[in-house]
Structure 1
Amino acid sequence: MMRRACLGLALAALCACSASPRAAYTVLEQAHAGPLEFEVRAEGELRAVTATPMLVPGEQWTPRQIVWMLPDGTRVTRGERVARFSATQSEQDLAQARIDLERNLLARAGKQDELATKQGQLGVDIVQVDGQLAIAHRYAHATLAAIARNDILDAVQDEAYLGVRRQILQWRERQSSARGKAELAVLDAQHDTYATVARQKQADLDALELRAPHDGVLVLERDWAGQEPHVGSNLWAGNSFASLPDLSALEVQLAVPQIEAQGIAVGQTVQLHPWGRPAQRVSARLDWIAAAAQTRDRESPVKYLSLKARVPADAVRRFGWVPGQRFVGDIVLLDARRAMSVPNVALVGNGDGATVRVLSHGAEVVRKLRLGVRGATRTQVLDGLQEGDRILLAAAPDGDGT
């Protein structure tokens, strides 16, 4: 198609050279109807529509370091080991938690002994006071005939004193018991905390291996900088490590520079093949287009429009494609057996108001066009041009040419 356009352009330019000196500097193209195809090339990656996430094992935010792992794209079976991690910090934390547990147990035992001793001493004091109180009570109620009056008065005073002392000892006993229970409760709470930490760290140490939940192909997850995990990488438990995609439903996610994305629409045909393997070409249709273009590189202002096209499952099985492969997609904007087009550089305006300049009998004539599909460099013309029309692409400045 490009060869035919160049030939027509050359013939038109030769014809223009035999006209006026101005025409010798005029670039022309002769309108011609024929096979017409507009395509836009896009690049992207094969991905799964759905995938099972694989997270770094362990409690949330526990540091992990990879000591062994399978490479990206490896086919795995259910239960197969995918990666192994080390957890030096968890080992240290577990040892510290066990030390804290031992200290807590010793502190609790010491506190119980202290409380028992204090309770025992208070008990002995109360028994002594009860004995003295019984004696004082007996003498306080004796008759004058039995003992002297002064002895009776002393006994009455002793009974009152011992009664108050007994109440004080009972109050101290209750306070000691309540305080002791509170202190033991604090120690028990500390014990539960240390025990929880110990269980968590033990669970971390018991979860240093990541295994495949089902058969599939391992696809490693990139971080914010686009880096894949590797041996020696420091990760956090709970973060995404990889995924196992569903190979029965794959799609290619493509990206097209915004300036070349004119005319792209859902439902258009796209010819897909892996990078470097044009023989593995399959036909698909665009089934999703992003609402707006976005930048992909902080260092570049160029925006790209994201597209998605579902890949036939039989092609995935036949060619052995796996997620992560780089793909090329040729999006077919127009494929007509017989159509006419003009270079975009010749158009003035767009839509229903588009026009071109045509040379007719040595004079410029403005033609109004009805346009169809617009490509990156050319646009389909539905009405307004005739076979053989000489389209003015550019004219020489006044005063040039001889």
Structure 2
Amino acid sequence: MSVLRRCLHTVSCVALVGLVACSSEHDGHLIVEVTKQPLEHSVTSNGELVSAESTKISLQPGAMHTIDWIVSDRTEVKEGDVIIRLSDRISQFRRDQSEINLEREKALGVGTLTEFDQRDLEIDYDLRVVEEELALIDQFSSDSDEVYSRLEQIDNARNRDYTEARGSYLGWDRDSNLDRRESKENLTQISQTRIERDVERFNTLVAQGEVRAPHDGVVVLQRSRRSGQLISAGSVEWGGSVIAEMPDLDQLVGEVYLLAADSAGVSEGTVVSARFDMYPDVEVVGTVTSISSLAQSRPDYLGKWFTVTIRFDELPDVLKKRVNVSFRAEFDILQTEPVVTIPIDALERVGNDWQVVLADGSSRRVEVGRRSLSDVEITAGLEAGDRVRLDQ
């Protein structure tokens, strides 16, 4: 046997230790003896400790906020401690602007009502004129041909009809003017109420220039929705933005990003073992409790990733009440009792069936079961002690 073949033979035996009894050559082919062994498969990925629940700290909605001062990231605080001080310059400016708008709206409302009053006076005057005209028509009208000719009588009747119609129109105009007045008063009142609420809101913002911790814990600052940077003094943020979180340190879980290509077989209940970067001698066991429904891209990473949540059985004291501690997670996807296995390379696909080539060169159909990255379970067709070719 050549030196090269002896080296290959040695490497093959080492690689297949525990999988086969040994390997040998027969007529130039690499032969392996089938044995029973546990079938194992696992994948690894990085993760960190996070809180299962956290209290979100957000800014008052309705205005932009300038942060004058904010605690450092991951600062431990007590309930009631000031964690953020806000500048009130923007809120004061908006409040003053709203007060000016309110005074202007009141002045416009008074002016508009004066116009309606003026129109009422004009209509009342015109109605009195109509009444006087009708009285004159009644006083001087006559159906006698001795007083007026037939054409003059017709003209007098037309004048009366016109005057009565004009009086009816003025009566309708007076009612309409009243309706328009009431509608305008309602609109003015609504507008003034809205502006008054703005004034009250900005007064509240001016008075609430400090944000305090709702409970004991650690303040974890968030990234700005406007700049993408960690929020700091001088940041200008939208009202309603979440600027910090206070995780519940009594409910810690593991959060792992798992590459979609490696996620096959990982499901809820999968056993996970974790080793922490800061404490390499500490191993913690847990189980998968949830997996994100969709794999998503990550900044600065290739491929798609699932977010996997791990619930640990028990954390050691050195890890309790600590978040963002990095660890390496190993997912035990497959762990079986000893079963008949062969290297995947020994399998050959024939139509819809699988077959292997025995040491004597004959073919035999087999049925396969579970598999790992390198080996496959044989459920029928082979027994321990059989010898198959590794290379076809």
TM-score (norm 1): 0.64
Q: Which of 232, 256, 262 is the aligned partner of 1:254?
A: 256
Q: Hey, what does 2:363 align to over in structure 1?
A: 365
Q: Which runs of 5+ in 2 are unaligned?
A: 1-10, 126-170
Q: Hey, what does 2:272 align to over in structure 1?
A: 270
2 CA distance for matches of 1:225 and 1:254?
A: 27
Q: Hey, what does 2:92 align to over in structure 1?
A: 91
Tell me if structure 1 keeps the 8 A contact 2:21–2:34: no
Q: Structure 1: which amino acid aligns with 2:326?
A: R
Tell me if structure 1 keeps the 8 A contact 2:353–2:365: no
Alpha-carbon spacing, 1:347–1:268, altered in 2? closer, same or farther (3 Å): farther
Tell me if structure 2 keeps the 8 A contact 1:57–1:209: no
Tell me if structure 2 keeps the 8 A contact 1:56–1:238: yes
Q: Hey, what does 2:15 align to over in structure 1?
A: 6
2 CA distance for matches of 1:245 and 1:337?
A: 42
1:342 corresponds to 2:351:
no
Q: Deviations over 1:335-385 (max 9, x none)?
A: 4574554333443469x954443423xx2533514423x223333445544
Q: Structure 2: which amino acid aligns with 1:342?
A: I
Alpha-carbon spacing, 1:382–1:179, altered in 2? closer, same or farther (3 Å): closer
How big is the shift at 1:6? 1.8
Alpha-carbon spacing, 1:385–1:253, altered in 2? closer, same or farther (3 Å): farther
Q: Hey, what does 2:194 align to over in structure 1?
A: 193
How big is the shift at 1:270? 0.7
Q: Please give the secondary structure, in 1, of the residue aligned with 2:249.
A: coil
Q: Where in structure 2 are the equivalents of 1:188-337 lying within 5 Å?
A: 189-222=190-223, 227=228, 229-231=230-232, 232-291=234-293, 294-297=295-298, 302-312=303-313, 314-315=314-315, 317-335=317-335
Q: Deviations over 1:270-320 (max 9, x none)?
A: 1023345332321112233445x51324887733344322123x5165423
Q: Hey, what does 2:128 align to over in structure 1?
A: none
Q: Hey, what does 1:49 align to over in structure 2?
A: 52
Q: Hey, what does 2:375 align to over in structure 1?
A: 378
2 CA distance for matches of 1:182 and 1:367?
A: 90
Q: Where in structure 2 are the equivalents of 1:22-33 lying within 5 Å?
A: 23=28, 26=29, 28-33=31-36
Alpha-carbon spacing, 1:257–1:342, altered in 2? closer, same or farther (3 Å): farther
2 CA distance for matches of 1:303 and 1:180?
A: 64
Tell me if structure 1 keeps the 8 A contact 2:78–2:217: yes
Tell me if structure 2 keeps the 8 A contact 1:75–1:217: yes
Q: Deviations over 1:178-213 (max 9, x none)?
A: 998887776655543332221122222233332222
Q: Deviations over 1:211-257 (max 9, x none)?
A: 22222333344577994532143321113223333333332232322
2 CA distance for matches of 1:69 and 1:4?
A: 63
Alpha-carbon spacing, 1:260–1:101, altered in 2? closer, same or farther (3 Å): closer
Q: What percentage of aligned pairs have identical amino acids?
A: 21
The alignment yields a C-alpha RMSD, in angstroms, of: 4.8
2 CA distance for matches of 1:111 and 1:69?
A: 49
